Structure 1
């Protein structure tokens, strides 16, 4: 039995689908079991990584865990998994972790690094999938695109190598079901370095409408985004975007090395998610 956390999210739902297609028994941990009812999992249990009392039942009889991390969940999850006899954990982690730093200055990296430390210090076989910039990070543009042909956002020339959530899921399933990945850390990216403006143009091509990127000042963007993004995350996102301007994003072959096929392009992602942007 494989326990999948974060199964109602963009990556986890693909993990469940792929495991089911392989004939694996899957159990989904969900705060709201009704939301997970249509995923096709063998079982759905109510629970929450941030509520340790729900973990023993979720982990009973489980051999492996796909862990979509919640801040602070590492020690309790590790303790419960060891008691339950879990063999391996595959963690979707963050490529923002700097292994040269004892304490991470990036708050997103910090909570992922904390969970990585808990797993490293455990008896569990672990695999870390450190994701780079996810293609789904541009979904907040959807409301503007549905309303018109202009996206107002900062740093039009910020670069990234967006990775498709389906590629992250396929890599996770390989690590969960095939030997040889224990104690390994993998960095995963998409296949192309693209600016934010180029990503928007590819979304426009996918939905058949030319779109224009209208660059906001960082101050205007910060004021707008602070209404729905916590300050510590917003600071990290803004600093990362500013630092990437004028640089080519790192592109790695890890997806192909793990899955046996090339990583999906951002253009393919835009076509897959065109319904999220079409008016």
Structure 2
């Protein structure tokens, strides 16, 4: 059985569907999850990564665990997994854990706990997700504007469905033990270009508005810790060569290129109408 945390999120929802449709028993975990939120045949268990002990019912009988960076006790989560007989952990981390470990110390702690667990492990360091564009849903719906800082700085944002497909391949194979993969999209896109892609998908004009850094920081710290907001803005504004590099790992694992942002925008256009 494979346990998938964050099962109702942008990555987890697709991952649950992919793994369960391939014939594996799946337990889907998130806070407040309902059976109606998962495909038929998938067990839904409510648990909170901030409380490792709450995972015990979900982990009972599990072979593998897909783990998010969430909560403050990665060692406790790993201990619960080990006690339940889990032999493989696939961690969805952040590219920033490798490129900016001080700013992304939380993710780095999870990586240390997983790689030092004595279990089989694989770390997936994801770049920015295309679904971060959901932050534009309300301003696009209400005013047809897309605000963002650093409008002409390109990064290889990745479709969360590609993250899910990569995670599914890793969870269901023995070929990826002890590997750390960097997951990016197939091309650099700027915020201005991503807004234009959503505009094309909607068939309606959208005005891109370049924000001041301080304005963006104030918004980001409403839902993330200040050090993570600082690190994120540093990546968005002054990315390193490594952070702008197109990683080959998605294509190497999936046997196909990653999905362009424009395709993500077409698929998700209804969210912005």
Say whether residues 1:163 and 2:158 are aligned partners. Answer: yes
Alignment of 1:34-49 (within 5 A): 34=34, 37-40=36-39, 42-49=42-49
Deviation digits for residues 165-219 of structure 1 (CA, Å, limit 9, x no counterpart) = 0100010011110121010000010001111101110110011113221212223
1:202 match: 197
1:89 match: 89
Counterpart-to-counterpart distance in 1, 2:53 and 2:173: 30
Counterpart-to-counterpart distance in 2, 1:98 and 1:153: 25
Deviation digits for residues 76-120 of structure 1 (CA, Å, limit 9, x no counterpart) = 111111111111011111111237x8xx321xx211111111112
Contact 2:91 2:114 in 1 (8 A): no
Contact 2:53 2:80 in 1 (8 A): no
Task: Identify which range, 168-177 or 118-127, moves more after superposition.
Answer: 118-127
Measure how far apart 1:241 and its partner are: 1.8
Say whether residues 1:129 and 2:129 are aligned partners. Answer: no
Measure how far apart 1:239 and its partner are: 2.2
User: Which residue, out of 160, 184, 196, partners 1:189?
Assistant: 184
2:139 match: 144
Contact 2:89 2:121 in 1 (8 A): yes
Counterpart-to-counterpart distance in 1, 2:239 and 2:18: 34
Question: Gaps spanning 5+ residues in structure 1: where?
Answer: none
2:208 match: 213
Counterpart-to-counterpart distance in 1, 2:136 and 2:164: 23
Say whether residues 1:250 and 2:249 are aligned partners. Answer: no
Change (3 A) 1:250 1:83: same
Change (3 A) 1:224 1:116: closer
Say whether residues 1:20 and 2:20 are aligned partners. Answer: yes
Normalised by the length of structure 2, the TM-score is 0.93
Normalised by the length of structure 1, the TM-score is 0.91
2:75 match: 75
Work out the number of aligned pairs and report it: 272
User: Which residue, out of 229, 232, 240, partners 1:234?
Assistant: 229
1:260 match: 255
Measure how far apart 1:28 and its partner are: 1.3
Counterpart-to-counterpart distance in 2, 1:258 and 1:224: 36
Counterpart-to-counterpart distance in 1, 2:157 and 2:18: 21
Measure how far apart 1:147 and its partner are: 1.5
Counterpart-to-counterpart distance in 2, 1:236 and 1:42: 37
1:173 match: 168
1:118 match: 113
Counterpart-to-counterpart distance in 2, 1:247 and 1:217: 25
Contact 1:12 1:68 in 2 (8 A): no
Contact 1:159 1:247 in 2 (8 A): no
